[in-house]
Chain A
Amino acid sequence: MATPASSRWINLLGLGVLVFCYLGALVNVFRIQRDELTHDTIRIVHWQLESGVRDGVTEMIRRFEAHMVKTGRRVRVVQILIPEGAYKQYVTTQTIGRTAPDLVELGRFPGEFYGRYFLPLSDVLKEPNPLVADRIVEFEKEAATNATAAAWIEPYSKLRDLPWIESFTDGLRTQFREEAQEYFGVGFSQFTVRIFYNKKIFRAALGSTEPPAAFEELLEVSRRIRAYAEESGQDIVPIASADYQTGIFKDRFLTALTADLALRFDVDLDGNCSEDETVAALLTGEWTPEDEQYRSALAMLRELSSFFPRGFMSFGRMDSAFSFIQGKAAMITSGSWDAKSYLSNIENQSPEQRFDVGIFDFPLIGPDDPKYGAYADGRATEANTGTGFAFGMTRFSRHQDLCIEFLQFCTLPENNTVLNAHAQWIPSVRGARTTPMLSAFEPDFSGYWQRMHFGTGERGTMVERQVFWPFISGEIDYEEYASRLMKELPDSAAVDFARRYRAARESVPELNGRRSAYLAAQALAKSEEARSGYRIKLLRTWDQLMGYETKQARTNALLDHTKRQIEAIGDISAFNRKFQPQLKRELGL
């Protein structure tokens, strides 16, 4: 049958569209391939989707590419953004598939992950950043005509002979991985957490813009703001919060009330109450959810949460941020990482909606607090905040020298200032300048650094979080929370414990291999300093090895010890009764 002319034309049009799209795709592929051939391309991935950070990194890329052109190299840096919720899965799958970008923002990965997929940066960090000296020469040339360049000479000069690691405010302490004895990351910024408040609402509701200094005052301020909202018929909540912000408050309150407990249960005196030590405390019944200090910390949080919006746990982080920005909440807690997006969004609103923002530190709970004072330990320190927004280099990178150079470039004081000025974050490098607005976020190093919690590992954390949700939402009381927790936690803690046990056992061959390499490096080291460095690594890894080797014996000893206690004293811990059979099942004992 003959095809009508119109139908033939439609078929041809369809074919034309198909051919056009195919050719377009082909051209794009060739273009990318040509770029790859003519440029050295490195890819950098992070989860900071805020516009300022993105712009800051883009600016770094632009400057770095221009810098490389000066040195006669054609380089392209590609920035990849992955949402926070999917980041861990993205990096896990990409590293396993050996297709991860060259530079990866570090965080939320298990300990063994670093040694396996990232290259240690310890050796290069020991040497001065070579770009510092080059830049000083350039500044000196420009100094006569350019005051800005002249001003940079002094801070740069201080860094000239220092190892690169010393140019960071915290000496990259938080980027050191104990299990691998190496540094894997270079941090670009520092972060602290504060409470932001709407001065307009404070003025209207309280007649003053003075922030609360103590927990009791925070409650009182919240009460008065609520009363003001009800009287004036305005849709205002005292504190904007979501699951995310609730976690910040929980962390602070637990530190304030349980820091001494964490020190008590730190039986190996390494300054950290590990997950195993938490499990041990639960097994012997020394620590239970009935503990008054823990209970008080959660009671504090629940009291405060009565000033959060209804249904806050189901809100996303952005929901609460919008609520604050739109002037529907008087306060919100978040970190310096959110400062820019809050302030710029508020600034861009209409004059009627715009308001001044104040920032204050978490109100303290002192011994004179009428309800919770009996257990008050003190403030939570920010000494362990360290440098964040840190990047590590994956083992599969084809341009390792280039990656290191990019990291060195971004951590020059001048560039670190620019990057953080875009992001409105606190710089991580000595000599870099902080935006005045961020002075409220300057870290306070005094206080305690750890707390008790029921996170016995991945599974335990999940179980506690599941039960915590209805508790903090007011759906169940503390007794029910404790009862549900103790029903689920022993099994989960046993699963976590068994997993750590297996991971330790599996690390032994790898650790032995690494020790052999250290031994060889120590024997062949050219300087006494290098030899000493490897000797320290050998000693530290010996400790780890002994720890792993004795883990099985320690596990058995722990089980035997608790078994003997049960026989001697009777059933001392309900936790123990469920934990042991599950652990035996998990380990096939």
Chain B
Amino acid sequence: MAKEITFKKLPGYWPLYWFVLPAALLVALFSYFPAGSAIYRAFFRWNGDYVEQFVGLQNFRQALGVPLYWILALGLLTASIVFSRKEGPVSFAVKIASGIAGMIVVLGVLAWRGAITGASEGTFVAPLILWGVPLLLVAWRMATDNPLKPIWLVCLAALLTGGVLSRVGLSPVAAWSISLLGTGAALWWLPPLRNAPGIDGLRATQSMAAMGVVCWALAVHAGGDPILWKGFGVIAILVVANLFKMVPSIATAVVIHRLRSEAANYWYRVLFVVPMIIPGMVTLLLWKFFFEPTGIFNAVLEHTGILTLLVHLDLWFGWGGVFEAGRAPIWLNDSNLVLPAIILWGIPWVGVVGVLIYLAGLQAIGTDVYEAADLDGVNAFQKFLHIELPLIMTQVRINLVLMIIGTLQMYGFILILFDSGGGPNGKLLVPGLYMFRNAFEEKYAGYACAIGFIIFVFILILTELNNRFVRVEK
């Protein structure tokens, strides 16, 4: 066991610091100093070289609009994160202020600005509902405790309400605000839910989701940089999509882990490591070819009949002829399809690193746990749900953090695919790419630093949320 050194005895062990010092200095010099310098420069109008003028919060005003609104919103979000796992009147007040009062304020502001109605981003409502409804139905069906069943029904109703309101012509912010207001009211005041198990966690989740909508409303209406916030919208969609894209990696890891043959297990692991040596650029070009009008992707869609289904869905949901009979979709050229193409990129989404991380977690589970489960007559899926998934939650959390950071910082492959304009209609001008563009093309490095700082704050919040909520008591 490691020997504990008390603070008093510390000076006696000073030679130990010499071992730590080089690494600490290098980290400070190459990681912390550039980051600190970037934060410092965010308060300057700086062109990366000779123009350097202190401008205070101007860069942040340009990006955020009115910083005070954001400070209030992020303050409330922080409070709701801090109080999320606590009970008592203060916690209750913070959650209700974030979850219900926040939505009432947003709706009031939208009504005042005449922004209750507006163009709805219809393309993603249908996929969200197509994904969300079956998932929630499964959750509802599987909920063993009767008091939990209504909770899933509330979530289902919220999702459908948001989708329908968005489709009937309400602005997306207004639609999801109404949906969350309804969910909040149900979670706080619906009699069957008042003492339901886990209700406090759900209330915390609702209040944080509501604060997310407040941030969305601020991004659209606080007078900040519209290009930047459009980019953050794309990132939000990609983060949600990437959450789903984690599932195949987990499933693959579980399947490999359960192989009875040690040799097969070994060879599968080897096979998963081999693709790591393929340069990223090659993979990128391969997928680019796949997505061409005459590429493999369209061929698969056509032969499986999915393309026909998409054509029908287009007519049904009124997507405006994105998919037409007899015309292969041009995924990377169409502003309506380029984002779905990026989401579909890499299908079936079995990430090599992810699989290996999950496998490491799964291999740490003792055989006695499985034997006990077998004796209790637990089936394969229940083993996954009640044994494996909880025990690899640490790995899931690591991958989630890496995924969130990776998605928020992502821009390299968009730059290679579409140059710095962000593709058709600038649809993929994500914050990272916009930051790059400002720094190296427009030479507005100070503003780029401010964007970097905002990205950093978002990563910090999402990582903290992840650390607080993605865990299971073992």
> Which residues of A line the B interface, CB within 8 A?
85, 88-89, 92-93, 95-96, 110, 116, 243, 310-314, 458-459, 462-463, 465-467, 469-470, 473, 475, 484, 491, 499, 502, 506, 585, 588
Contacts and interface: CB of A to CB of B under 8 A. Distances in A.
A459 B293 contact: no
Contacts of A243: 419
Contacts of B334: 470, 473, 475
Given A311-B293, A462-B426, A470-B424, A88 B440 contact: yes
A89 B333 contact: no
Contacts of A95: 49
A585 B332 CA distance: 36
21 contacts: A85-B416, A92-B48, A116-B49, A310-B293, A311-B333, A314-B333, A314-B417, A458-B441, A462-B421, A466-B421, A466-B424, A466-B425, A466-B429, A469-B424, A469-B425, A470-B335, A473-B424, A475-B334, A484-B425, A491-B226, A506-B51
Interface in B400-440: 415-426, 429, 437, 440
Interface string B32-73: 000000000000010011110000001000100000000000
B286 to A, nearest CB: 14
B333 A313 contact: yes
B421 to A, nearest CB: 5
Nearest to B341: A314
B425 A467 contact: yes
A110 B293 CA distance: 38
Nearest to B440: A89
Contacts of A475: 334-336, 424
Nearest to A459: B442
Nearest to A491: B226
Nearest to B417: A314
A110 B443 contact: yes
A96 B49 contact: yes
A-side interface mostly: helix
A588 B420 CA distance: 28
Interface string B317-340: 000000000001010111110000
B292 interface: yes
Contact of B419 (A85, A499, A588): A85
Find the residue from A93, A459, A466 having the highest chain B CB count within 10 A.
Answer: A466
Contacts of B424: 313-314, 466, 469-470, 473, 475
A491 B425 CA distance: 16
Contacts of A85: 415-416, 419
A469 B440 contact: no
A469 B417 CA distance: 14
Interface residues of B, number: 36
Nearest to A458: B442
B330 A92 contact: no
B225 to A, nearest CB: 9
Find the residue from A313, A314, A475, A499 having the highest chain B CB count within 10 A.
Answer: A314
Contacts of B58: 588
Contacts of A459: 442
Interface string B101-124: 000000000000000000000000
Contact of A466 (B51, B422, B441): B422
A470 B128 CA distance: 25
Contacts of B293: 310-311
B440 A92 contact: yes
A96 B48 contact: yes
Contacts of A310: 293, 328, 330, 333
Contacts of B442: 458-459, 499
A238 B49 CA distance: 48
B158 to A, nearest CB: 32
B50 A314 contact: no
A359 B262 CA distance: 65
A312 B332 CA distance: 10
A466 to B, nearest CB: 4
Contacts of B429: 466
A116 B437 CA distance: 21
Contacts of B51: 506
B292 A465 contact: no
B448 to A, nearest CB: 12
Nearest to B444: A499
B332 A469 contact: no
B330 A465 contact: no
Given A89-B440, A311-B292, A475-B336, A466 B426 contact: yes
The 8 closest A-B pairs by CB, nearest first: A466-B426, A311-B330, A314-B332, A314-B333, A311-B333, A469-B424, A89-B440, A96-B49
Nearest to B327: A310
Contacts of A96: 48-49
Interface in B277-310: 292-293
B314 to A, nearest CB: 14
A466 B50 CA distance: 31
Interface string B339-373: 00000000000000000000000000000000000
Contacts of A89: 440-441
Contacts of B425: 466-467, 469-470, 484
Contacts of B444: 499
B288 to A, nearest CB: 8
Contacts of B330: 310-311, 314, 473
B305 to A, nearest CB: 22
A480 to B, nearest CB: 10
A150 to B, nearest CB: 51
Contacts of A313: 333, 424
B427 to A, nearest CB: 8
A572 B145 CA distance: 66
A310 B443 CA distance: 35
Nearest to B434: A462
Given A85-B419, A310-B293, A469-B425, A92 B333 contact: no
Nearest to B418: A314
Nearest to A108: B441
Find the residue from A311, A470, A588 having the highest chain B CB count within 10 A.
Answer: A311
Contacts of B332: 311, 314
Contacts of B440: 88-89, 92-93
Contacts of B335: 469-470, 475
A475 B322 CA distance: 9
A465 B423 CA distance: 9
A88 B49 contact: no
A446 B49 CA distance: 42
A263 B426 CA distance: 31
A311 B292 CA distance: 7
Contact of B50 (A88, A116, A462): A116
A243 B422 CA distance: 13
B44 to A, nearest CB: 13
A312 B416 CA distance: 16
A513 to B, nearest CB: 13
A472 to B, nearest CB: 10
Contacts of B292: 311
A475 B333 CA distance: 9
Given A466-B426, A467-B425, A473 B48 contact: no
Contacts of B421: 462, 465-466, 469
Nearest to A110: B443
Nearest to B58: A588
A93 B426 CA distance: 25
Interface in B442-458: 442-444
Contacts of A465: 421
A85 B281 CA distance: 15
B62 to A, nearest CB: 8
Contacts of B62: 585
A495 B299 CA distance: 45
A478 to B, nearest CB: 15
A522 B292 CA distance: 63
A88 B333 contact: no
A414 B330 CA distance: 50
Contacts of B336: 475
B70 to A, nearest CB: 17
A78 to B, nearest CB: 24
